[in-house]
Copies of this chain bind each other. A is one copy, B any other.
Amino acid sequence: MTVSDPVSESSSAAPDRKVELGRDRPIRLDCGVEIGPITVAYQTYGRLNADKSNAILICHALTGDHYVADPHPITGKPGWWSELVGPGRLFDTDRYFLICSNVLGGCMGTTGPMEINPATGQPWGLGFPVITIGDMVQVQARLIDHLGIGQLFCVVGGSMGGMQVLEWAQSYPDRVFSAIPIAAAARHSAQNIAFHEVGRQAIVADPDWCDGNYLLEGKRPHRGLAVARMAAHITYLSEPALHQKFGRNLQNREAVAYGFDADFQVESYLRHQGSTFVDRFDANSYLYITRAMDYFDLAAENGGVLANAFRGTRTRFCVVSFTSDWLFPTAESRAVVHALNAVAANVSFVEIRSDKGHDAFLLDEPEFHATLTGFLNGAAAHRGLPGRGGASQ
């Protein structure tokens, strides 16, 4: 890995990486506040080639992190795309250099509300500035600078990760050779803002949230955060998936118990989703990151015309949606494709037939994986990268 900037870098147990960015040149956020220095936690897989043309930036979703293909340090579970990363796999570590960083405002090592504010010596809490998808991407661009990479071969991500892909393509078109926004949208819908608001209200309704100062008070708003996660989790699945997985099956019993314990398997499952989430996620981070998604509206930033976001682009796009995704339905992806078509961009659009809902991008979906492999192979050939096994395609 090449390090071009004179920045300090600490490395905990490999391959965890952290870098300090913005010490000499603070990062100006969309809200007008400047922050820096900040810490960015990231992970890499594979090796950067000599001309630095094989780097893929993977952008994680709302509650994801940079442990794409490593066991999660808290849960011990495999990384969220671990099946896709490795020699000969979709993200072929023999061919590509993969980078994923924890987003600004996150809670897995990158500067966010649970980290210490150097100015006060206390956790940022609600003193942390409100951030945007654009701010997250700006920080990622600083990381890419730090790694000495001019142009990324590809930027890819699902859900909020897909928003970041679109933001990259708008803000740094010359630095993005190809882009794969998956199960994403160019703006957060009213319904999605509403679901986020429910989650936020669940958190702030928890007295242990302590007006955002729970870390100072030695508390954690676990109950509120669990409710937020439960509500959100429903939106990640499809009704058919819930029906097939659980239906009205009862939990370890023959008949309903006429009570408020988890009678149905779907209740038990949801409670489990809520209770395990609070061990690995910070409530204030949840507030900030959901807010960043709410604010995302590429058309609004471009005079109300989404196509203006991509005018003149030479990036090759592959837009992917899933039929049963009702959180980021195909219509949202189609709007992106229409905008790209309007500026004669190079764009593929694939709607994958799946009953797995929004979370399909994290699950075993062979047609989806074949689509990404095909697109990456084609883009690699255009970029002049060697094919699988080292031969030029």
Task: Return A204 CB to nearest CB of chain B, in Å.
Answer: 8
Task: Return A254 CB to nearest CB of chain B, in Å.
Answer: 12
A291 x B260 contact (CB < 8 A): yes
B239 x A191 contact (CB < 8 A): yes
Whether A344 is near chain B, meaning CB under 8 Å from some CB there, is no
Task: Return A324 CB to nearest CB of chain B, in Å.
Answer: 12
Query: For chain A residues 64-90, which have a beta carbon within 8 Å of chain B?
Result: none
Copies in the complex: 2
Whether A147 is near chain B, meaning CB under 8 Å from some CB there, is no
Whether A351 is near chain B, meaning CB under 8 Å from some CB there, is no
A190 x B246 contact (CB < 8 A): yes
Task: Return A249 CB to nearest CB of chain B, in Å.
Answer: 8
A271 x B224 contact (CB < 8 A): no
Whether A230 is near chain B, meaning CB under 8 Å from some CB there, is yes
Task: Return A92 CB to nearest CB of chain B, in Å.
Answer: 38
Query: For chain A residues 266-290, which have a beta carbon within 8 Å of chain B?
Result: 266-267, 270-271, 274, 287
Shortest Cβ distance from A239 into B: residue: B191
Contact of A234 among B194, B264, B274 (CB under 8 A): B194
Known contacts A190-B243, A190-B247, A247-B190; is-contact A197 B259 (Cβ 8 Å): no
**B-contact 0/1 string along A200-226, CB 8 Å cutoff:** 111011110000000000000001101
Whether A382 is near chain B, meaning CB under 8 Å from some CB there, is no
Query: Which B residues are CB-close (under 8 A) to A126?
Result: 260
Known contacts A190-B248, A205-B227, A300-B248; is-contact A294 B198 (Cβ 8 Å): no
Query: Which B residues are CB-close (under 8 A) to A355?
Result: none
Interface on A for B, CB 8 Å cutoff?
A: 30-32, 126, 129-130, 187-191, 193-195, 197-198, 200-202, 204-207, 223-224, 226-227, 230-231, 234, 237, 239, 242-243, 245-248, 256, 258-260, 262-264, 266-267, 270-271, 274, 287, 291, 294-295, 297, 300, 326, 329
Name 18 A/B residue pairs within 8 A (Cβ), A-sorted.
A126-B260, A187-B248, A189-B239, A190-B245, A190-B247, A191-B242, A191-B243, A194-B230, A194-B267, A197-B270, A197-B271, A198-B227, A201-B227, A201-B230, A201-B274, A205-B205, A207-B207, A264-B294
Beyond the given pairs A194-B230, A201-B230, A256-B295, 4 more chain A to chain B contacts, judged by CB atoms under 8 angstroms and listed by A's residue number, are A31-B258, A189-B248, A191-B237, A260-B291
